[in-house]
Amino acid sequence: MACWQAVMAPTHLERFLAQSYKLSETTFYHYELRDPWVQGCLEDWAAMLDYVGEYLDPVLFDSLLLLVATHTVNFTRLGLARKEFNSFGALQFDKDVRALRSFFTSRAHEVSLRDAFAPLNLTSTLLLSDSPRDALEEAHNLALTAKEKINVLLLRVDFNKQDVLALHL
């Protein structure tokens, strides 16, 4: 196991897997004060990256950053299959994705990390939809396949399954 995996795997991603995204309004606002997983995750990533960043040239640092970001995105995407979302949960997930993306992109020297986060950005956009039909606006976005888009929309507990399955994305 690489040192960056040791920093991430045991604690923060497990917290993500345990976190519910079916939130009440009160819980959503409580998370404004103390985020359940992203802030702790980013604090640990910052400590690790600050330490190794002193010893790596910018190209190697960017390679490490891309590797860590890609791992985080892939782990998060895999964990989504076990989640259910309501509208407040979708807002929380969007906030989480924005925090992750901002953290990683702010540390990059030359490498662009936007492509690495494209699937999570689209997932967040789809989860924020007011209705399944709103997802049709993202039909031409290729960050996710049509089947993946349907699967994301099915995570919303307040969307009718038949309405989602009837979409032609």
**Residue 65: per-residue pLDDT:** 94
Strand partners, 156: 85
6 pLDDT more than 70: no
Mean pLDDT of the chain: 90
Domain ranges of the chain: 22-165
| β-pair partners for 21 | 85
pLDDT category, 169, cuts 50, 70, 90?
Answer: confident
Kindly give the interhelix angle for 114-127 and 87-107, rounded to the nearest 10 degrees. 170
Q: Is the pLDDT of residue 33 over 90?
A: no
- DSSP letters of 70-106? HHHHHHHHHHHTT--B-HHHHHHHHHHHHHHHHHHHH
Q: What is the pLDDT of residue 5?
A: 58
Where does residue 151 rank: exposed (0-12), middle (13-18), buried (19+ CB within 10 A)?
A: middle
Residue 54 pLDDT more than 60?
yes
Backbone angles phi, psi at 159, to 5 degrees: -100, 140
The CATH topology of domain 22-165 is: Methane Monooxygenase Hydroxylase; Chain G, domain 1 (1.20.58)
Predicted pLDDT at 150: 96
Q: Is the pLDDT of residue 1 over 60?
A: no
Among 10-14, 41-45, 93-97, 156-160, name the one with the lowest average pLDDT: 10-14
Residues 134, 98, 74, 155, Cα dihedral to 10°: -40
Half-sphere exposure for 125 (CA within 13 Å, toward CB):
17
- pLDDT tens, residue by residue, 93-134: 999 999 999 999 999 999 999 999 999 999 999 999 999 999
